[in-house]
């Protein structure tokens, strides 16, 4: 692999990592909005936020595929594992430091996302339990209490007979 090809692969990996970092930042912002929507009970907002998160996750999945592919190209050319940590050991300190900062930033945001996600799940569960309790209570109000005594009988059916004479 030429020096130029190696530089192109490293530049591609750095671009991918930077895009991943920005997408994770966006996901964190969406997750915070999701929390506010859950607290406010804003179902339409929540639905839109979930749709946006799904799109971001699809983009992250594609970036991961691209990153794995680029790391694989680096590893085939230089030997070793196709991981970011192995690549960082093969490059100069400046590049390794940039990749390290991006990696640490992504890991920090991913940790925050996990925490917010667990909290949002708990909020959603509480909201669902509250909804179920309200539904059960309303059903008890709408259902007549059982009573002892004669059971109501159906009213007799009236029929209308018409005779026509000629």
Q: What is the pTM of this model?
A: 0.77
User: Tell me: the pLDDT tens digits for 92-121?
Assistant: 999 999 999 999 999 999 999 999 999 999
**How far apart, in whole angstroms, are the C-alpha atoms of residue 61 and residue 58?**
5
**What pLDDT, on a 0 to 100 scale, did the predictor assign at position 106?**
96
Q: Which of 63-72, 76-85, 150-159 has the lowest mean pLDDT?
A: 150-159
User: Tell me: the pLDDT tens digits for 23-76?
Assistant: 999 999 999 999 999 999 898 999 999 999 999 999 999 999 999 999 999 888
C-alpha torsion 125→130→136→141, nearest 10: -170
**How far, rounded to the nearest angstrom, does the alpha carbon of residue 59 sit from its chain's CA centroid?**
12
**How far apart, in whole angstroms, are the C-alpha atoms of residue 143 and residue 42?**
30
| DSSP secondary structure, 80-140, as one string | S-SSHHHHHHHS-HHHHHHHHHHHHHHHHHHHHHHHHHHHHHHHHHHHHHHHHHHHHHHHH
Q: Which of 19-23, 30-34, 145-149 has the lowest mean pLDDT?
A: 145-149
Ordered by where they begin, the domains of the chain are: 3-142 (1.20.58)
Judge whether residue 154 has pLDDT over 80. Answer: no
Judge whether residue 150 has pLDDT over 80. Answer: no
Whether the CA torsion 107, 113, 115, 117 is positive or negative: it is negative
C-alpha torsion 69→91→101→33, nearest 10: -10
**What pLDDT, on a 0 to 100 scale, did the predictor assign at position 11?**
94
């Amino acid at each position: 692999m030429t020096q130029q090809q190696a530089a192109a692969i490293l530049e591609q990996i750095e671009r991918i990592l930077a895009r991943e970092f920005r997408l994770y930042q966006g996901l964190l912002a969406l997750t915070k909005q999701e929390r506010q929507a859950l607290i406010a009970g804003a179902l339409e907002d929540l639905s839109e936020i979930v749709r946006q998160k799904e799109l971001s996750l699809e983009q992250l999945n594609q970036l991961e595929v691209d990153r794995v592919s680029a790391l694989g190209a680096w590893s085939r050319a230089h030997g070793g594992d196709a991981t970011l940590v192995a690549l960082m050991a093969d490059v100069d300190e400046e590049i390794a430091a940039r990749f390290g900062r991006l990696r640490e930033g992504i890991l920090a945001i991913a940790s925050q996302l996990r925490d917010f996600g667990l909290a949002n799940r708990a909020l959603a569960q509480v909201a669902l339990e509250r909804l179920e309790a309200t539904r059960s209570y309303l059903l008890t109000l709408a259902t007549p209490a059982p009573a002892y005594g004669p059971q109501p009988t159906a009213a007799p059916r009236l029929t209308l007979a018409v005779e026509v004479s000629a």
